[in-house]
Structure 1
Amino acid sequence: MDAEEHPEEQPHITWHEAPVPPGMPVTQAYVWALDPDDGRVLIQDRGPQHPRRYTLPGGRPEPEDGGDPLKTAAREAMEESQIRIDTERAVYLGHQVVTWFAKRPEPYAQLRYAAPIIAYEPIGPDPDNGRTNRRFMTGLARAPELLHWHETGAAQAKAALKAGAQLGLPVDDPSPEGYRDGEKDRYLVCHDYGMGGLWWWVTARSAKEIMERVADVVVVTASETVNRVADWGLAEVDIDAPDENPLTSLKATRDEQRGQEGFGALVGRGTVYVRQAWDEGTENGEAYYLTELGEDGYRTRQVVEYADGSCVKTDDWPLNPPYDLYDPVLGRAEVDRAVFEAAWDKAELETEY
């Protein structure tokens, strides 16, 4: 039978970035689950034998959800893909209205959310059907092609991209696609970011775990960089490896820092400001750096404050390595934004380096 000759046999679907109209039943809730470290979205791979191989985690409401569709999406994501999503930061994207004249003439709604993934549990079977779904991680630009949801899929992916950007996730520059079936994933990690940088592939549960357990490193997720180093033959290190390895001394440093005043004080705070002494001699005597740092640890503005009260802006750098926001010394150096802005307002622009 040709579907074009019998359109009444096919569901009619329209997408709406708006609340569900009063009285319209909600039959499903799905989630665009986004990795907060690499900007990829999780696509369920149900296997080549399935007529609709790829889909998002989600499903029908159950009594245990208490009528909350977000709880439905979170429960289904755990059951089907063994992931935990951050319901506190979840964003409602909209709903699609389905009218299936041959089966259900009254319209009904299917909801869509976007939410960060906060944990990957060991992969296992879906309790509803016993099937184990693989976790395929890809960029939002490619997701509609896999899902085959046509115009509505493209519209949902666009809405998820906007929501991910608002949540501060790197959805505009996702890491290369691939499966993430294990509890741990492989991350590109660099120490002393710059000309003398040391690079490794580190297997860990999340980028956050690496930053919490290893001092003075950055997890690199930019796809251009990840692709460029793919054939460098970098050492592979498991974060839990007990034997001596390249991370041993950096993990020891982090363990010494833990518990100290200021440890991790700047993490997850958004833009922060620090004031640190310049450890090199200057013509004008003692000097301090006043630095504005983004949530990723990169400096965005900087002022040098001299003992005579003069200030110079140094907001253009040949290299801009990230700061370790867990460092307790950095945490103890925090100052109010007003202190930084006062120095910035009176500072002159540095013209020579």
Structure 2
Amino acid sequence: MIAIRRASQKSGGARRTDGHNGPVTEPEQPRFTWSESPVPDGIPVTQVYLWALDPDDGRVLIQDRGLSLVRPHSLPGGRPEPEDGGDPLRTAAREAMEESQIRIDAERAVYLGYQLVEGDPKRPGPYAQTRYAVPISGYGPIGPDPDNGRVNRRFMTSLDRAPELLAWGEHGRAQAAAAKRAGAALGIPVDDPAPDGYRDGEKARYLVCNDYGMGALWWWVQARGAREIMERVADVVVIHRVETVRQAEDWDLEEVDIDASDPNPLSDPKAKRDEQRRRPGFGACVGRGTVYFRRPWGESGHTPWIGEDGETHYLYEIGEDGYRTRQVVEFAEGPAQKTSEDDWLFNPPFDLYEPEWAEYEIDRSEFETAWDAAVPAPDYED
């Protein structure tokens, strides 16, 4: 547990204004203690705050409330209200929408801990302020908070920098560290976030690559999020690597709006995605972490390759980002062969939104059995 006591600030001594002599007694300041355990019974929860993480670029949302305030930066959150029914995540979702106009994926929220407040002269007895890490599931246009009419800008930054902006001291750094662990466990790229920046409008600028053939095509795409691009455009990947994004600023790339009228550079892959969306299994394997498949070899995945020895199958271990990490090739005759990610460093990711993936999915135990039985694939040289 981390205990922080905020000391009162004095400047040149205090002077009484009540007509009495003697020194002024400074009011007692609240004491704050951070703990990563459940809130003890009998301690009321007066506030719920969110470390709201963008699941695509690994940044956390910090509310910029304006320089006129003593504390211009904050996390989205607030007090429970009767309509929340005692559910802290309903409180969090409501406050996040009111203050920052974001939607959260409450089902994936991770409880981080609570801040115990004691000695508050405005409230008798100790009380708790809970914290959650949660993925952001959508952004709306920014607007005024119905409670105070203030518009909070959305500043997206790394979890490493967030404590500096919040100015919560040691307990703020402890919360950010807990949020970073939770984000990594959720598969969010918190260790390699996108560059800092405001996200006030409905759309932001993303670096997008099509690399499913002999060459690559690159664009800047204006969209409401990386997930929207992946859901609406087939055979592309959104690039979040900071170094690559910075390098691309010097490239002469076309800029395309996700909603641009046809024809435009995204017309064909968008038409392909629209056709896929109408079929069963679309997106069934997305957002589930590492997944496993046994798929017949073929250019489209539908037509197996029938060689001299019969049908060949590929068993894949594929991460949430679409990149395979391990592979087993089963031949009709002869031993199965296995290879690891080092063999495909330059290969593009698989598009897990494709409906076909759902029919080829297997469980991890089936893949591990095949992996253990396979022999290392031979090295090939040109």
TM-score by length of 2: 0.85
Structure 1 residues 71 and 287, CA gap change in structure 2 (3 angstroms):
closer
Residue 290 of structure 1 aligns with an amino acid whose one-letter code is L
Deviations 1:39-59 (A, max 9, x none): 111000011111110001111
Which residue in the other structure is 1:344 paired with?
A: 371
Task: Decide which structure has the larger Cα Rg and report it.
Answer: 2
Q: Distance in 1 between matches of 2:142 and 2:362?
A: 45
Give the CA deviation at 1:278.
Answer: 5.1
Structure 1 residues 76 and 286, CA gap change in structure 2 (3 angstroms):
closer
Which of residues 250, 263, 269 is equivalent to 2:269? 250
Residue 260 of structure 1 aligns with an amino acid whose one-letter code is R
User: Which aligned segments of 4 or more residues in structure 1 are displaced greater than 6 angstroms?
Assistant: 4-7, 280-285
Q: Distance in 1 between matches of 2:37 and 2:362?
A: 42
- Counterparts in 2 of 1:80-229, with a 5 A limit? 80-100=99-119, 102-104=121-123, 106-192=125-211, 196-229=215-248
Gaps of 5+ in 2: 1-7, 14-24, 300-304
**Preserved contact between residue 278 and residue 289 of structure 1 (Cα < 8 Å):** no
Structure 1 residues 343 and 103, CA gap change in structure 2 (3 angstroms):
closer
Residue 326 of structure 2 aligns with an amino acid whose one-letter code is R
Give the CA deviation at 1:38.
Answer: 0.8
Residue 312 of structure 1 aligns with an amino acid whose one-letter code is Q
**Preserved contact between residue 292 and residue 315 of structure 2 (Cα < 8 Å):** no
Answer with 51-60 or 61-70: which moved more.
61-70
Confirm or deny that 1:2 pairs with 2:43.
Answer: no
Cα RMSD, aligned residues only: 2.5
SS of aligned partner of 2:256: strand
**Preserved contact between residue 221 and residue 258 of structure 2 (Cα < 8 Å):** yes
Structure 1 residues 257 and 193, CA gap change in structure 2 (3 angstroms):
closer
Structure 1 residues 84 and 92, CA gap change in structure 2 (3 angstroms):
same
Which residue in the other structure is 1:295 paired with?
A: 320
**Preserved contact between residue 296 and residue 311 of structure 2 (Cα < 8 Å):** no
Answer with 256-265 or 197-206: which moved more.
256-265
SS of aligned partner of 2:361: coil
- Residue identity over aligned pairs, in percent, reads 66
Which of residues 64, 68, 81 is equivalent to 1:45? 64
SS of aligned partner of 2:106: coil
Confirm or deny that 1:54 pairs with 2:81.
Answer: no
**Preserved contact between residue 212 and residue 235 of structure 2 (Cα < 8 Å):** no
Gaps of 5+ in 1: none
Answer with 136-145 or 303-312: which moved more.
303-312
Residue 294 of structure 1 aligns with an amino acid whose one-letter code is G
Which of residues 298, 309, 321 is equivalent to 2:334? 309
Which residue in the other structure is 2:86 paired with?
A: 67
**Preserved contact between residue 85 and residue 115 of structure 1 (Cα < 8 Å):** yes
Confirm or deny that 1:273 pairs with 2:293.
Answer: yes
Give the CA deviation at 1:3.
Answer: 4.3
SS of aligned partner of 2:163: helix
Q: Distance in 2 between matches of 1:27 and 1:182?
A: 31
Q: Distance in 2 between matches of 1:295 and 1:71?
A: 28
Give the CA deviation at 1:181.
Answer: 0.5
Q: Distance in 1 between matches of 2:63 and 2:200?
A: 11
SS of aligned partner of 1:117: strand
Q: Distance in 1 between matches of 2:182 and 2:195?
A: 20
Matched residue count = 353
Q: Distance in 2 between matches of 1:22 and 1:258?
A: 48
Deviations 1:10-49 (A, max 9, x none): 3221111112222222221111111111111100001111
Structure 1 residues 63 and 288, CA gap change in structure 2 (3 angstroms):
closer
Which residue in the other structure is 2:354 paired with?
A: 327
Give the CA deviation at 1:262.
Answer: 4.1
Residue 127 of structure 2 aligns with an amino acid whose one-letter code is Y
